Amino acid sequence: MGWGLGGLLRLRCGEIAIYKAYVLLALTTFFWAGNSIAGKLAVGHASPMVLVTARWASVMVVLYLFKRGQIAADWQAIRPRLCYLLLLGALGFTVFSVALYYALVYTTAINASILQGGMPLFVFAASFIFFSSRVSLEQAIGFVFSFVGVIVIAMRGELTNLIDLDINFGDALMLVAIIAYGIYTAALRSKPQMHWASLMFTLCLGATLASLPMLAFEAAQGGTILPDMRGGVVIAYIVIFPSLIAQAFYIRAVELIGANRAGLFINLLPVWGAVLAVAILGEEFHLYHAVALMLILAGISLAEYGGRKPSGRR
């Protein structure tokens, strides 16, 4: 037999790794969708910069308390790339979170969730610009489907809104958020090899350092809202699920199947987000939401097929 037992075992292990990544990404997007719902529930109960600072500072402390031995062991890998990792945390964690939580003051959780499905567009673009990653025809077409879905949400199903540039301010902030996270996802490929907890700790350190001046500015403007009971529950959920568990799952999935393919699964986030927003917040689901979701799901299916198809070029 040409393959041999070793070849079959390697093939089987590869398939298991792919399916493991799929499960991790499905859970990641579910928890991230819950983050949008939590952010909407926090409006008026905890200000955006209080949420952001408490989120990443809390995760940083938890990781240090439980994984400080591992962090110390990885310090030799962290030190040469410390500035890079701190900037990565500021971009992917702080900038994204600030834009998201402020966006939720002005737009619906459904819109925020569905717009996050556009992240793969910017993962592809950043991977191509910064790392010259090859993109297949199917991935490019899927990419376009996703982008059209984003545009449908931005114009709220009315072409005149796009022509008149009548875009909701919250939706515009969400575009800033997904651009930041797309660049962050692509840049993860250049991280040094280390335990996921050490990487998360360093990224959270960068996120916390970046959020403190913004928190001070929010306080100076009189916009600080300290968390009440609901705000405290929201922060607890955000710290445990979207921040700690989901980020660890996402980093591991990127290691298993790469940034481009992992980024595509972010398109599942709008599905979870729409369901949760209707069920928990009672938001209205419109026809243009359905159209955007269909376009995004078509995009993820096509692009994932293109990512798995072997290339004949060398």
pLDDT for 216-227, tens place per residue?
Answer: 999 999 999 999
In a domain, residue 16? The reply is no
Given a cut of 90, is residue 260 above it in pLDDT?
no
Domain assignment present for residue 1? The answer is no
- 256 falls within a domain: yes
Residue 4 lies in a domain: no
Contact by Cβ (8 Å): 112, 33: no
> Per-residue pLDDT averaged across 135-149, rounded?
74
The backbone torsions φ and ψ at residue 240, rounded to the nearest 5 degrees and listed phi first, read -75, -50
Domain boundaries, position 195: 22-308
Write down the pLDDT at residue 4: 55
pLDDT at 86: 96
Q: Tell me which of 295 and 117 has the higher pLDDT.
A: 295
* 20-24-26 Cα angle (round to 5): 115
Give the C-alpha separation, 74 to 36, whole Å.
Answer: 33
Q: What is the mean pLDDT of residues 276-294?
A: 84
Q: Spell out the SS3 assignment of the chain.
A: CCCHHHHHHHHHHHHHHHHHHHHHHHHHHHHHHHHHHHHHHHCCCCCHHHHHHHHHHHHHHHHHHHHHHHHHHCHHHHHHHHHHHHHHHHHHHHHHHHHHHHHHHHCCHHHHHHHHHHHHHHHHHHHHHHHCCCCCHHHHHHHHHHHHHHHHHHCCCCHHHHHCCCCCHHHHHHHHHHHHHHHHHHHHHHCCCCCHHHHHHHHHHHHHHHHHHHHHHHHHCCCCCCCCHHHHHHHHHHHHHHHHHHHHHHHHHHHHHCHHHHHHHHHHHHHHHHHHHHHHHCCCCCHHHHHHHHHHHHHHHHHHHHHHCCCCCC
What is the mean predicted confidence (pLDDT) over 109-130?
Answer: 76
Please check whether residue 158 lies inside any domain of the structure: yes
Confidence of residue 84 (pLDDT cuts 50, 70, 90): very high
Residue 207 has a pLDDT of: 96
In whole angstroms, how large is the CA radius of gyration of the chain?
20
Among 88-92, 126-130, 186-190, the range with the most confident prediction by mean pLDDT is 88-92
Mean pLDDT of 98-105: 93
pLDDT of amino acid 1 = 45
In the predicted structure, residue 127 carries a pLDDT above the cut 80: no
Q: In this predicted model, what pLDDT tens digit does every residue of 236-254 receive, in sequence order?
A: 999 999 988 887 888 788 8
Mean pLDDT calculated for residue range 253-258:
82
Lowest-confidence segment of 23-27, 92-96, 111-115, 165-169 by average pLDDT: 165-169
67 located within any domain: yes
How many domains are there within the chain? 1
Confidence of residue 311 (pLDDT cuts 50, 70, 90): very low
Look at residue 45 in the predicted model and tell me its pLDDT.
Answer: 95
* Pairwise CA distance, residues 276 & 241, whole Å: 15
CA–CA dist 147, 117 (Å, integer): 9
Per the prediction, the chain carries an average pLDDT of 82
Q: Is residue 13 part of a domain?
A: no
Separation CA 50–CA 211 (nearest Å):
9
Quick one: pLDDT at residue 56? Answer: 95
Q: Which residues contact 231 (CB under 8 A, 6 or more apart)?
A: 42, 45, 46, 50, 225
pLDDT score recorded for residue 258: 80
The CA distance from 192 to 80, in Å, is: 9
> Is 314 a member of any domain?
no
**Rounded average pLDDT over 61-70:** 94
Say what the pLDDT of residue 301 is. 72
Poorest-pLDDT segment among 63-67, 108-112, 136-140, 245-249: 136-140
Query: Averaged over 31-55, what is the pLDDT?
Result: 93
- Does the pTM surpass 0.75? The reply is yes
The CA distance from 278 to 267, in Å, is: 18
Of these ranges, 169-173, 242-246, 253-257, the one predicted with the greatest mean pLDDT is 242-246
